[in-house]
């Protein structure tokens, strides 16, 4: 688990659409009832959000359409102005930053990828990827060298001279990812970047994303409405409903310990064995040191093949390689059958 200090923190963040929103919220207070806000002709898109995103983690914000997740990520980058609250980046409240400071932050510190690729149709792949660096004023030779590295990083070497119309949807999205990475952002926002892709291409892009993150170790806020995608990618997940976060935690926390009926229903179809880790469901070790072993972070589904030959228990080892417990056959069977 990533235990580093938060890079991005939001405290009491609200976004209300409608007349006199800030004044009405001050009058009603931070625990304002949604019905009272609606009665005041306001739309509560984001309600009193507290979140912290740690250095180097993939933090997924998810929810159904209209839950407020895309509005929240636009508030975090100040593409839209929050009605109230604090958004801290490296401890600096972005809501006090000037427009010029925010433009500089977005150019040099933040990367953004959205569902629609928004590639410039008259530019080649290389020119599209280099465009943010051109805006920064980087000399042509240097920006094209960096853009070429990004194109190679996302697996499009040889297509530098192609135009967007000559690329598949998955390739276009790779160009969008390369473009957002060209400025080497510290903080990367991705708003449903794969949702417009066909299922097989979407899976391929998820695999590519996991590979990129293993190399780049970016701090990422990723928006999706697909829980399977979330549990594949996320270190932690926040589930939103009606503009508020109803539960935040690891995929395992949400699936095995849902805090509300909504979260329970949201995660009901997820195979528990995919997210349950050996370290969370192990029992005390009982002479298993010489048996096959798995790491504490291994999922039960990944460990299951070790039980094919009738094995009753396998050792569970910590980061130092020492046995810290055992994973029992009965536990695996129970979780594999959806218990």
Tens-digit pLDDT profile for residues 269-326: 888 888 888 888 899 887 766 678 888 878 898 899 999 888 889 999 887 888 899 9
Every domain of the chain and the residues it spans: 6-109+185-270, 273-336
**Quick check: 37 and 16 in contact, CB under 8 A?**
yes
Topology match between the domains 6-109+185-270 and 273-336:
no
Q: Each residue of 73-114: pLDDT tens digit?
A: 999 999 999 999 999 999 999 999 999 999 999 988 998 888
pLDDT at position 41: 94
User: H or E element: which one contains 132?
Assistant: helix 125-136
Q: What is the pLDDT of residue 1?
A: 46
Give the separation between CA 106 and CA 89, rounded to whole angstroms.
12
What is d(CA 53, CA 61) in angstroms, rounded to the nearest whole number?
11
Spatial separation of the C-alpha atoms in residues 43 and 170, rounded to whole Å? 35
Q: What is the CATH number of domain 273-336?
A: 3.10.580.10
**DSSP annotation of 5:** P
- Asked whether 159 and 168 are in contact (CB, 8 A), the reply is no
- Give the tokens for residue 143: 């920006």
Residues of the chain with pLDDT under 70: 1-4, 288-290, 338-339
pTM above 0.75, yes or no: yes
CATH 3.40.50.970 fits 6-109+185-270, yes or no: no
Could you give the CA distance from residue 4 to residue 57 in angstroms, rounded to a whole number?
Answer: 9
Taking the C-alpha atoms of residue 5 and residue 114, their distance in angstroms, rounded to an integer, is: 27
CA dihedral 68, 73, 76, 81 (to 10 degrees): -60
């Amino acid at each position: 688990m990533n235990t580093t200090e938060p890079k991005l923190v939001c405290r009491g963040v609200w976004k209300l659409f409608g007349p006199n929103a800030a004044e009405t919220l001050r009058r009603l207070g931070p625990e304002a009832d949604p019905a009272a806000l609606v009665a005041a002709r306001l739309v509560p898109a984001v309600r009193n959000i507290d979140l912290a995103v740690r250095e180097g983690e993939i933090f997924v914000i998810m929810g159904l359409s209209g839950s407020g997740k895309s509005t929240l990520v636009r508030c975090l980058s100040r593409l839209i102005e929050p009605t109230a609250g604090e958004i801290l980046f490296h401890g600096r409240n972005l809501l006090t930053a000037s427009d010029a400071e925010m433009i500089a932050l977005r150019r040099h510190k933040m990367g953004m990828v959205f569902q629609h690729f928004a590639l410039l149709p008259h530019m080649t792949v290389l020119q599209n990827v280099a465009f943010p660096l051109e805006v920064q004023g980087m000399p042509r030779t240097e920006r094209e060298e960096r853009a070429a590295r990004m194109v190679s990083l996302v697996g499009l070497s040889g297509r530098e001279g192609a135009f967007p119309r000559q690329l598949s949807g998955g390739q276009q999205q790779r160009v969008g990812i390369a473009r957002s990475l060209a400025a080497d952002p510290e903080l990367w926002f991705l708003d449903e970047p794969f949702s417009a892709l066909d299922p097989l291409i979407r899976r391929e892009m998820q695999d590519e994303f996991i590979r990129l993150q293993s190399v780049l170790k970016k701090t990422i806020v990723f928006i999706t409405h697909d829980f399977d995608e979330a549990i594949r990618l996320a270190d932690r997940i926040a589930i939103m409903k009606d503009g508020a976060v109803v539960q935040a935690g690891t995929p395992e926390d949400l699936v095995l310990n849902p805090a509300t009926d909504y979260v329970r229903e949201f995660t009901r179809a997820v195979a528990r064995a995919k997210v349950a880790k050996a370290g969370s469901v192990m029992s005390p070790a009982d002479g298993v040191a010489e048996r096959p072993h798995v790491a504490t972070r291994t999922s039960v589904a990944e460990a299951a093949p070790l039980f094919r030959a009738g094995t009753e228990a396998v050792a569970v080892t910590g980061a130092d390689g020492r046995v810290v417990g055992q994973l029992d056959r009965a536990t695996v069977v129970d979780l594999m059958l959806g218990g």
